[in-house]
Structure 1
Amino acid sequence: MPSSYRVDPLVWGHGPRIFEIFVEPTCPFSVRAMGKLDALLQQAGEDRITIKIRFQSQPWHMFSGVIVRAILAASTLEGGKETARAVMNAVGAHREEFEFLHHCAGPNMDATPNDIIRRMERYSGVALAQAFAVPELQAAIKWHCKYARQNGIHVSPTFMVDGLIDPAISSGDTVEDWMARIFAD
């Protein structure tokens, strides 16, 4: 393992209000929510909010574990969290190619994890295979799983504000609606 190996936390902003979003990268509702994070950060201001992406891998999204590992692997590469975000966005933009029809059928029945990694590389332009194969990466994956379980997270997306789940926040809300909930004091 290279001495520079480090999983870059998927954290943007540095403000006192902590907004954590638990996502599954191929979930359509997670993809919709992740698409609003840049606007949220811009409207709230980096000095008022800290946004943290957490993973809630879900077994009915059949390649979820492979995709989550590849995104975390991307965070170890040059560019860190921004590289991971580019890979995540590529998956979201082509999510049908990483999913099964009705979570149990379709062309991905013949896909291997290597096929999925190659697709992620093709769509994102990021070479992932070598970083994906680093055994120590599993510590980060386990951390995400443990953190979600400890916080009672069961589905994606789930939203937490300052350590408390807010079930009133939805991926279908506007950024303005999110702001009203996040900064309600």
Structure 2
Amino acid sequence: MRGVAVAEFRVDPLVWGQGPRQLEVFLEPTCPYSAKAFGKLEQLLAELGEDRLTVKIRLHSQPWHMFSPVIVRAIYAAASLPAGKAAARQVMQAVYEHREEFEFEQHATGPNRDATPNDLIRRIEGYTGLKLMAAFDEPQLDKSTRWDARYARQNGIHVSPSFMIDGIVQADMSSGDEVSVWVKRLG
């Protein structure tokens, strides 16, 4: 139609800071070790400074976390909302804080076996106050999930959390490290 502007669909990149050093963190949204790493990122940025460091979160779905693909898509759906990456961060925080509601016991059993993707989305909406259903249905979200999956494979990332500094995989970097160790490494 002439004269009618169509809004372009956009998923806000999960990037914080704008410094020359780049830390890419590959996180799975229900992994307890990813939760530990995620919980340290704000402090890391505060200590190093957003003018010195750029942190990029790459979502890394793993098959033994059975609901992982649904939650990854919900995070990208949140990132497509007007609040963008802040909404995505809110979803990640909610899932990490209530992990037992988004994961099977022993990766295979428990009450979540009866949960549907819609149940999970409603749980996330309840914890965050975000409306995700319509955004979750957007077919273009596939681009984000596929891009992160390809990028991880191309860089030899197989587990979460994994870390890259300035494009180099850091096999000896861990979610168990203190923030001060990361600061020293990136400083």
TM range (shorter): over 0.9
Other structure's SS at 1:36 match? helix
Larger CA Rg, structure 1 vs 2: 2
Corresponding residue number in structure 2 for 1:181: 185
Q: TM-score, normalization: structure 1?
A: 0.96
Corresponding residue number in structure 2 for 1:35: 39
| Structure 2, unpaired ranges of 5+ | 1-5
Shift of 1:4: 4.0
Q: How many residues align?
A: 182
Matches within 5 A, 1:162-181: 162-181=166-185
Q: Aligned residues: percent identity?
A: 60
Corresponding residue number in structure 1 for 2:70: 66
Corresponding residue number in structure 1 for 2:48: 44
Other structure's SS at 2:33 match? helix
What is the rounded CA distance, in whole Å, between the counterparts of 1:105 and 1:79 in structure 2?
35
Q: Give runs of ≥4 in structure 1 deviating > 2 Å.
A: none
| Structure 1, unpaired ranges of 5+ | none
What is the rounded CA distance, in whole Å, between the counterparts of 1:31 and 1:4 in structure 2?
32
Contact 1:15 1:49 in 2 (8 A): yes
Matches within 5 A, 1:135-174: 135-174=139-178
Contact 1:60 1:103 in 2 (8 A): yes
Contact 1:169 1:181 in 2 (8 A): no
What is the rounded CA distance, in whole Å, between the counterparts of 2:23 and 2:135 in structure 1?
28
What does the per-residue CA deviation read over 1:54-84, in whole Å, with 9 as the maximum and x for residues that have no partner?
Answer: 0110010000000000000100001100010
